[in-house]
A and B are shown apart, each in its own frame.
Chain A
Amino acid sequence: MELFWKVVTELMNPFVFFLILGGVTSGLFVGAMPGLTAAMALAVLLPFTFKLPPLLGLVALGAVYMGAIYGGSFAAILVNTPGTPSSIATAFEGYPMAKDGRAIEAISIATVSSAVGGLAGVFFLLVLSPPLARLSIQFGSAEYFWVAMLGLTLIASLSPGSTLKGFMGGSFGMVLASVGVAPIGGENRFTFGMPVLQGGVEMIVALIGFFVIPELFNMAAHGRAALVEVTMDSRKRGTFFSAIRTVFSMPVNLIRSCIIGEIVAIIPGAGGSIANLVAYNEAKRASKHPERFGKGTVEGLVASESSNNVTVAGSMVPLLTLGIPGAPPDAVILGVMLMHGLRPGMDLFTVSGDLTYAFIISMGLAALFMVPVGLLGGRLIYRVIVKTPHYLLVPSIALVTILGTYALRNSLSDVVIMLLLGTTGFVLRELEVESAPIVLGLILGGIAEMGFVQSILRGTSLDHPWMMLFQNRLSQIIIFMMVLSFASPYLSAGFRRFKRGPEELLKDEGDSP
């Protein structure tokens, strides 16, 4: 009880509220700009927190993180360009909704879903921290490898057209992830004699290239028409209360997406970039109308936005208990904690309990602040984007994209790589190899390689070292999930065919072109 009042006293400081409001607002605008990520927003803000007391510094960073992950949905919905990797799946449904004249509705639903996800993440962090921390400790190299392979099966089902093209795109992404210094052998691969490639293909650089550049080409090719398609919808349909009704009308989807977000969040290295795709995929799989996905369905949008915001607080579980950042932005927060002498572990929940719990609850407040900030800011950003002529909008996005890519590592080579990958992505998209599997392959490639090579090394004493990948019970469970995930679309299709009977099937085949 004493701890509770201490936490309340800490949070009653008006400056805390000001910092949360400012943090969410600035995070939202940074996240809404393609190329500027949550990690970058936090890194940029870091110097400003040096002079602040530990709690205020952490509160500001937590609010920026929450706002930036949510802000990524704006660009995804309005220009089909995920502002952050956490909003890839948001673009699948949000942009078709916007093209259908439902942009404000999509933004309102994304806002409410993000707020619910943010609050759910805080709930999980407060209540489930100890058991989840114990589960994350169980993950060894083989489990990491299989988690990445599970991602590969998701890649295939995420690909809207051909499964084979999805696998091809995912494999290409994994090959791109192997460019540069090997994580274990330490030698250079695929550098083609260019020292600049020794550092590898930065994930954010590839993400910007694959998602922004094809869209710029598309906008340039279609001119005014590319933007006119996104039209203003009635305020009535996009109101806050209407969005609340819509989001809470699908409780199973919401709860499932939040749980998926939390499970992915506690796996170090995964984060919102994977959570949103997994949750979206599961929503599609569970839906009565999976064929509507990709055409502007609310279910997919709710799944993506709720799950990615769960990971903001959710990824703090391994950070606060083990000192392992669950996602890149967490690394910045870890740096601030260490700078203020706060060491992750049990002491954080006992000796510095008031500060830790105040920080956790402040993230919940940031999730609530997202609603007014997002609904007001959303309309503002929407109007700016819609009213700007395409011949000014395309170069403006190009400018921010070039700057954002350059500022990641102060490297002009990264900008050239981004343009090359973007052009390749545009050509591949025309051949129906989508960008999402390539980027997911790039994210998973590093995790898979580490897990694979470490497992083989650990198994050198065995007759067949690769057996190390199959020995652990947790690995076997993940392999089972992977097989199930791979087979379930075929199984459900077979089941549907069986249920409908041979006559209807013959009729369907007769109707089909």
Chain B
Amino acid sequence: MKRQTNTDLFAGILGLVLVGIFWYGRGEVGHLSIMFPNAILFLLGVFSVALVVKGLVRPHRRSVFSEGDRGKILGTGTILFVWVIAIPYAGFFLASVAGFWGLTCYLASTHRKVTPLQAGKWLCIVLAEVTFFYMIFAKLLYVPLPTGLFF
């Protein structure tokens, strides 16, 4: 049997953590600027406390992060963050080709054995797709895409 989580309690605690973070980040500002955020933070706190109370009194339970391959979620998230962080250093084109190709090989690897020939074929597809979007955005629409090592 899958382990059940008290989602009311966890959602309420997460809400309180968010209230704490934003309360700390209000800064030294005047009444006019903080009047509304204070009211909304108060409301968020009230709803979060209510969820915590509900979680303790009459909790709703379900299994979380139980569907699909959890490792794939973590791996995909990591590759996406590395892809974006690499853009200022490697440039948009190079980082995107590497990120796209890496993610393709990673996701395919759980279903099939990735041979060098297949990886090479995918690299061609990736190069064509990234070039297509790069040309549209950089050359046609004049969006200044970040440059890095080469262009």
Contact = CB atoms under 8 A, between A and B. Distances in A.
Interface string A413-443: 0011001000100111011110000000000
Interface residues of B, number: 74
Which applies to chain B's interface (DSSP): helix, strand, loop or mixed?
A: helix
Contact of A399 (B36, B48, B129, B143): B129
Interface string A157-189: 000011011011001101100100010111111
B136 to A, nearest CB: 9
B72 A452 contact: no
B108 A398 contact: no
Interface in B31-56: 31-37, 39-41, 43-44, 47-48, 50-51, 54
B76 to A, nearest CB: 4
A426 B76 CA distance: 13
B67 A189 contact: no
Given A164-B51, A221-B73, A172 B60 contact: no
A216 B76 CA distance: 8
Contacts of B10: 431
Nearest to B108: A391
Contacts of B12: 168
Which of B31, B40, B48, B110 counts the most chain A CB atoms within 10 A? B40
B151 interface: no
A456 interface: yes
B122 A221 contact: no
Contact of A220 (B62, B76, B83): B76
Nearest to A416: B84
B111 to A, nearest CB: 6
B27 to A, nearest CB: 6
B80 A428 contact: no
B127 interface: no
A415 B7 CA distance: 29
A399 B130 contact: yes
A164 B84 contact: no
A223 B84 contact: no
A423 B143 CA distance: 27
A182 B29 contact: yes
A432 B9 CA distance: 11
A410 B76 contact: no
A216 B75 CA distance: 12
Interface stretch (A120-128, A400-408, A484-492): A400-408
A175 B40 contact: yes
Given A178-B40, A221-B69, A412-B87, A188 B96 contact: no
Contacts of B69: 220-223
Given A185-B31, A191-B25, A445-B40, 10 more contacts: A178-B40, A184-B32, A185-B32, A186-B33, A187-B27, A189-B33, A218-B68, A220-B76, A391-B104, A395-B99
15 contacts: A185-B31, A189-B26, A192-B25, A216-B76, A217-B73, A218-B68, A220-B69, A223-B110, A391-B105, A391-B107, A392-B122, A392-B125, A399-B129, A412-B88, A452-B35
